[in-house]
């Protein structure tokens, strides 16, 4: 605990390195993508990994995560503040890093549009990868990524954060595609619409003319994210699978 044992010796504890790992998701062309960086050093040289880095002496893990997020995505610190960032869980297996004892706090981030990644400070290359098609990652990042998928999918059921994947103004069709992409299922359009519109605070209509997408059909009305964060009653996935692993 934070509460060190009673008669504790300041040197009784082993020094750990504490890092953050980020699973940064976006929806791109109707498919879920995750941001990975290529490792330029041993171990796992040449393998892809989740972006991340050390927690600095005077910052919290969340601050470290936002700092790394800004570095990897090339966004300004301010715009990173608006992004949805959520602590996933902490990975602490003694052998998860062959070099030393590293405990890592994992975060999931949802970003709306698709800012082309620019290689962050210390990463060789950064690139969006389609979810599911990622080769084996470095360290225990396959596990972290799998946990992140589960969590995001479950969060869509009980929260309104699907809008975090959308730009400031979006159509209900775009919002529906977020659900379909993350869950990998097709949803009935009128039913989805009814659910979203009857949930107070999920979305709020933008007045003004509907946007013409330049695409085919009837132009869709535009909405913004509403004030609600929780979704009640939940919007459950078809085929009723609950929350990935029950952990």
* Count of beta carbons in the 10 Å neighbourhood of residue 222: 19
Instruction: Verify binding: residue 77, a second copy, rule CB under 8 A.
Output: no
Instruction: Verify binding: residue 80, a second copy, rule CB under 8 A.
Output: no
Residue 18's contacts (CB-CB under 8 Å, 6 or more residues apart) are 54, 55, 61, 102, 103, 104, 105
Q: Which stretch binds DNA (CB under 7 A): 1-9, 52-60, 73-81, 233-241?
A: 233-241
Q: Which stretch binds a second copy (CB under 8 A): 40-48, 162-170, 193-201, 202-210?
A: 40-48
**Closest approach of a second copy to the CB of residue 148, in Å:** 13
The option from a second copy, DNA, none interacting with 219 (CB < 5 to 8 A, set by class) reads: DNA
Q: Which of 17, 168, 185, 205 binds a second copy (CB under 8 A)?
A: 17
**Closest approach of DNA to the CB of residue 162, in Å:** 15
Instruction: Verify binding: residue 14, a second copy, rule CB under 8 A.
Output: yes
Residue 169's contacts (CB-CB under 8 Å, 6 or more residues apart) are 206, 211, 222, 223, 224
Are 107 and 87 in contact by the 8 Å Cβ rule? The answer is yes
Instruction: Verify binding: residue 160, DNA, rule CB under 7 A.
Output: no
Stretch 207-226 residues interacting with DNA (CB under 7 A): 210, 212, 214-221
**CA–CA gap between residue 83 and residue 62 (Å, rounded):** 12
For residue 54, is it left (φ>0), alpha (ψ between -120 and 50) or beta?
beta
Q: Which residues of 134-145 are buried (b: 16+ CB within 10 A; e: fewer)?
A: eeebbbbbeebb
Stretch 20-59 residues interacting with DNA (CB under 7 A): none
Are 167 and 82 in contact by the 8 Å Cβ rule? The answer is no
Strands 223-225 and 203-205: antiparallel
* Count of beta carbons in the 10 Å neighbourhood of residue 215: 8
Q: Which stretch binds a second copy (CB under 8 A): 93-101, 175-183, 190-198, 216-224?
A: 93-101
Instruction: Verify binding: residue 185, DNA, rule CB under 7 A.
Output: no
Q: Which is nearer to DNA, 61 or 221 (CB)?
A: 221
Are 140 and 147 in contact by the 8 Å Cβ rule? The answer is no
Cα dist from 96 to 46, 54, 84, 138, 239, whole Å: 18, 15, 27, 10, 35
Stretch 140-179 residues interacting with a second copy (CB under 8 A): 140-141, 158-159
Q: Which is nearer to DNA, 133 or 233 (CB)?
A: 233
Q: Which stretch binds a second copy (CB under 8 A): 74-82, 97-105, 173-181, 207-215?
A: 97-105
The residues binding DNA (CB under 7 A) are 171-173, 188-191, 193-195, 198, 210, 212, 214-221, 233-236, 238
């Amino acid at each position: 605990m934070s509460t060190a044992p009673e008669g504790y010796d300041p040197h009784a504890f082993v020094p750990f390195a504490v890092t953050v790992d980020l699973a940064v998701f976006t929806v791109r062309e109707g498919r879920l993508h995750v941001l990975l960086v290529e490792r330029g050093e041993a171990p796992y040289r040449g393998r892809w990994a989740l972006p991340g880095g050390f927690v600095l002496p005077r910052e919290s893990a969340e601050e470290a995560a936002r700092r790394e997020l800004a570095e990897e995505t090339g966004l300004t610190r301010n715009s990173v503040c608006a992004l949805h960032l959520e602590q996933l869980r902490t990975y602490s297996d003694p052998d998860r890093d062959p070099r030393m004892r590293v405990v890592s706090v994992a975060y999931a981030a949802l970003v709306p549009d698709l800012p082309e990644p620019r290689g962050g400070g210390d990463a060789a290359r950064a690139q969006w990868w389609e979810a599911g098609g990622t080769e084996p990652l470095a360290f225990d990042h396959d596990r972290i990524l799998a946990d992140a998928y589960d969590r995001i999918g479950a969060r869509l059921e009980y929260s309104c954060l699907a809008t975090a994947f959308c730009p400031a103004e979006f159509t209900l069709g775009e919002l529906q595609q977020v659900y379909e992409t993350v869950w990998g299922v097709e949803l009935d359009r009128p039913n989805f619409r009814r659910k979203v519109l009857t949930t107070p605070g999920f979305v709020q209509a933008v007045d003004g003319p509907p946007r013409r997408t330049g695409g085919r059909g009837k132009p869709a009305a535009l909405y913004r994210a509403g004030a609600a964060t929780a979704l009640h009653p939940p919007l459950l996935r078809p085929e009723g699978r609950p929350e990935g692993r029950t952990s």
